[in-house]
Structure 1
Amino acid sequence: MKRPPSLTESQKNRFGVLRQQLFDACIQGDTDSSKTIMFDLKNLLLPTGHHTKYYEVLLYHCELLIFKKDYRSADKFLTAIIRNTDSNTRLFQESSILLSIAKLHLSELNAAEEHLRAALLSKAITNIDRRRQFIKRISERFEEESLLASLGSKAFNFNADDIINEVQQNCMANTSDEQLFENIGKSIPAHSIEFMQRIHTMAKNQLTHNERYMLPPAPGAQDFICLGKRIFSGISRRIWAKICLDDSTVKKILDAAHNPYTISTIILTEIVNLEIGHMITLISASIITYIIRKRIDVYCKNLKPDSIMSQRYTR
C-alpha cells in the first residue's frame, strides 16, 4: 500500500493540538466537544490520506460513546474501522474489543463473541508475556462490562438519606476496604454473576488450547470481594472524570464542600446518573464510603481509569 505524503509542519502542529483537545474532551466526558474535534480531525487527516491516524484518534471518541451509552454510534464507527484495517494490527484489535463491548451492552451476544474472537485471534501481540498481560486485562474489563450490562437501566426510586446514613455508619464502624468490596459483591444478583461467567466462557473459547491457561478463572458466586472490585472498577471508570477533573463543576463543588453529607450526596448523584438499575442503591453506600475514606484527592490520583488504547505497549 502506498504511504500517504507526510503532513506539513503546520498540519502536524494542528494535528497535535486537535488530538490533545480530543483526549481532554474524552476524559471529561464531553461528547459534543469530542464530535466537533473529530470533525476537524477528519477534515485534516482524510484528504491527506492519513486514515490510520484518523482511526487511532476515533477509537477514543468511540470509547466515550460507549460510556455515554450511545452504543449504536460507536458500532457504526468501529465497524468502519475494522472493515478498513489489517487484522494483525493493534488498531484492529482495539477496535474489535471496543465493538465487542458495545455489542455486549446491546445484548447482541453472537456479534460480541465474533468480534472478541477476532481480537483474540489477531497476531498484533506475539510476545508471550505481553500476550498474557493483554488477555488478563481484557478478561477483567469484560467481567466489569458484563456485570454492568446485566444490571439493566430501569428508572427507580431511592431514599438518598438511607444511603448516606449507611455511609456514616460505615465510617463510624471503620469498615475495612475488603469488607466494603465484600458488601458490594454480596449485593450482586445471581443472574448477573451467571451472565458474567457466560461471557468469560465465551472469551475462553476464543483462545487456543495453549493460551487458555493464561486466562484467570472468573469470580465465582462466593468470590464476593473480587466481584465487588469488578463492579466498583466499572462504576469508577464512568464517574472518575466528573469528580476528579479540576475544571469539572462537580469537582469544584466537592473541593468547596467540607460536610461529609454534602460530599456523599454529590457522589451519589453521579452514581445514580449512570442509570445502572435499581441494584445501585444496594452498593452505593460502600462505593461512597471507599472514596471518602481514601480522600477525594488520593482516589483521583490512584484510581484514574485506563482506556483500551492505553494498554498498547510502547515499542
Structure 2
Amino acid sequence: MSTPPPLSQDQLKKLALLEPSLRLCVKSANLDRAKDITYKIQLILRPTGHETRLLHSKNWLFETAMEANNLSFAKLGFEGIIKKANEGTRLSLEATSLLAICYLREKNLEKAAPLIIKAISNIGNIKSEERRKQFHRRLIERLEEESILVGLRDENGATLDIATVDQEAVALIMSKNEDQILIEMGKAIPKSSIDILKTVRTTYQLNLPKPDIKLLPPPLTEDAKLELGKRASSALKRVAWRALCSPDSEVYKAWSQGLSVVYDKKYIAGAIVTSFTSFSISATMIAASAAALAIKFGAEVFCETFAPSGLMIDRTKK
C-alpha cells in the first residue's frame, strides 16, 4: 500500500469518537452497531487512501462478529484482511490469530493449527523480546480460554435449570470464598476441554523457537484446579458479562442500583442460564460458580473486573 497523506484534524477529531466506540462493540458483541460505525470510519478513511487504518477498524468489526457468534461473517472478514495486509505485519498477525480462534470455536483443530503456526511465525518478526512475550502471553492465554470454552459446549447436553443453578450458587456463596468457588469451577472442567488444551499447547510449543519458549506463561494442568478455574472464569466472562452487564438490560439496571429483586427473582442465575444455553453450555456447577462470583462481586466490580478483553492492542492512543 502506498503511503497516504497525514490525517487532517477533521479526520482525527471524528476518528477519536468513532474508533473507541467500535472497540467497545467487541465487549457487548453489538454487531449491528459495529457495522454502522465501521461504515462511518470507511467514509472518513477511504477517500484519502488510509486503507491500513481502515483494515485495523475492520479487524474490530470482525472480532465483534466472532463474539456475536457470527463465525461465517467473521471468518470471511479475517480472510479478506489477511489477503490485503502485508505479510508479517501486526495487522496480519492479529487477523491470523483471530481466524484461528474462529476455527477453534468450531472445534476445527485441523484448520486452526496451521493458522496458529503462522501466527507464531509472525510473532517472531517482533524484534522486542518484551513485546514478543506480551503477544505470546495474550495469544496462548486466549487460545487456552477458547479451548476451555469449546470443550464445555455440548449440543446434546441437558438444559440448565434456573432453580437448580440458583440453589447451587447460593450454597457456594454461603460456604466458600472466591478462590474456593474458582476451585469448584476448575473441578467441573470436562476432559474434552483438557484434551483440547493439551493439543493447542503442544502445537504452540512445538512450533516455537527454543529461545522463545521461556516467554510463555506456565501451562495449565488438570491438577491445578484453581488456575483452571481462573482461566475458565476468564473464558466464560465472554458469555456471562454480556448477559449481566449490558447497560440496556433490565438485569443490569436493577443490579447496579442494588435492588434486591435481582436476587429474589433469580435474575442473575436466569441471565447466566440463558446466555450459557445459547452457547450450548450445560454444566450446572460451571453456571452456578459463575453466578456465585457475580453475586459476590456485585454489579460495579464484576462488570469492571470481568469485562472481556480483546486480542488486539489500541494503536490510536499516542
**TM-score, scaled to structure 1:** 0.89
Structure 2 residues without counterparts, runs of 5 or longer: none
Question: Which residue of 2 is the match for residue 56 of structure 1?
Answer: 56
How many angstroms apart in 1 are the aligned matches of 2:246 and 2:223?
Answer: 36
- C-alpha displacement of 1:74: 0.9
Alignment of 1:75-114 (within 5 A): 75-114=75-114
SS at match of 1:165: helix
How many angstroms apart in 1 are the aligned matches of 2:249 and 2:274?
Answer: 18
Alignment of 1:111-126 (within 5 A): 111-122=111-122, 123-126=124-127
- Deviation per CA, 1:215-270, whole angstroms, max 9, x where unpaired? 23432222211111111111113332442354444311323431463474335423
How many angstroms apart in 2 are the aligned matches of 1:201 and 1:159?
Answer: 37
Report the count of equivalent residues.
314
User: Is residue 287 of structure 1 aligned with residue 280 of structure 2?
Assistant: no
Question: Which residue of 2 is the match for residue 140 of structure 1?
Answer: 141
- C-alpha displacement of 1:18: 2.6
Matched-pair contact (CA < 8 Å) for 1:28–1:242: no
Matched-pair contact (CA < 8 Å) for 2:183–2:225: yes
Question: Which residue of 2 is the match for residue 172 of structure 1?
Answer: 174
SS at match of 1:202: helix
How many angstroms apart in 2 are the aligned matches of 1:214 and 1:117?
Answer: 16
Q: Give the alignment's Cα RMSD to 1 decimal.
A: 2.5
Question: 1:166 is matched by which residue type in structure 2?
Answer: E
How many angstroms apart in 2 are the aligned matches of 1:116 and 1:312?
Answer: 23
Q: Report the CA distance shift for 1:281/1:164 in structure 2 as closer, same or farther (over 3 A).
A: same
How many angstroms apart in 2 are the aligned matches of 1:264 and 1:226?
Answer: 28
Matched-pair contact (CA < 8 Å) for 1:136–1:216: yes
Give the stretch that moved more between structures: 58-67 or 115-124.
Answer: 115-124
Matched-pair contact (CA < 8 Å) for 1:245–1:251: yes
Matched-pair contact (CA < 8 Å) for 2:268–2:291: no
Structure 1 residues without counterparts, runs of 5 or longer: none
Matched-pair contact (CA < 8 Å) for 1:25–1:34: yes
How many angstroms apart in 2 are the aligned matches of 1:99 and 1:312?
Answer: 20
Question: Which residue of 2 is the match for residue 43 of structure 1?
Answer: 43
Matched-pair contact (CA < 8 Å) for 1:187–1:279: no
Matched-pair contact (CA < 8 Å) for 2:154–2:282: no
Question: 2:146 is matched by which residue type in structure 1?
Answer: E
Q: Report the CA distance shift for 1:192/1:105 in structure 2 as closer, same or farther (over 3 A).
A: same
Question: 2:141 is matched by which residue type in structure 1?
Answer: E
How many angstroms apart in 1 are the aligned matches of 2:281 and 2:75?
Answer: 27
Q: Report the CA distance shift for 1:140/1:271 in structure 2 as closer, same or farther (over 3 A).
A: farther
User: Is residue 307 of structure 1 aligned with residue 303 of structure 2?
Assistant: no
**TM-score, scaled to structure 2:** 0.89
How many angstroms apart in 1 are the aligned matches of 2:190 and 2:274?
Answer: 18
Alignment of 1:1-315 (within 5 A): 1-122=1-122, 123-154=124-155, 156-173=158-175, 175-256=176-257, 257-259=259-261, 261-262=263-264, 264-274=266-276, 275-310=278-313
SS at match of 1:310: coil
